[in-house]
Amino acid sequence: MQQDQPSLKELLGEKQLAEILGVSKASMLKLRKEKGLPFIKIGIKTLYYEPDVMAWLIKQVQNK
């Protein structure tokens, strides 16, 4: 597989990312709505593509 193509292994569930970031699921919702945290909605599942989240986090730090 080419390196620039998304991999399913890089998708994180909401609970996984909340644990990694050390925030609640409610905070995750707030980050999506108010700060533009990138996410993918598939049916009722909310998933996060790890490279997009990392880029978003870096941008948040640089904008402070």
Q: What is the DSSP letter of 5?
A: S
pLDDT of residue 22: 96
Per-residue confidence in pLDDT tens, the chain, 64 aa: 445 676 788 999 999 999 999 999 999 999 999 999 999 999 999 999 999 999 999 999 998 7
Task: With respect to residue 56, please indicate whether it lies within any of the assigned structural domains.
Answer: yes
Tokens of 54: 């990392």
Range of the domain at 18: 9-62
Task: With respect to residue 15, please indicate whether it lies within any of the assigned structural domains.
Answer: yes
Task: With respect to residue 1, please indicate whether it lies within any of the assigned structural domains.
Answer: no
- CATH number of the structural domain spanning residue 26: 1.10.10.10
pTM: 0.83
Tokens of 36: 């533009």
Task: With respect to residue 3, please indicate whether it lies within any of the assigned structural domains.
Answer: no
What single letter denotes the amino acid at residue 2?
Q
By C-alpha distance, which of 58, 46, 53 is closest to 20? 53
Task: With respect to residue 4, please indicate whether it lies within any of the assigned structural domains.
Answer: no
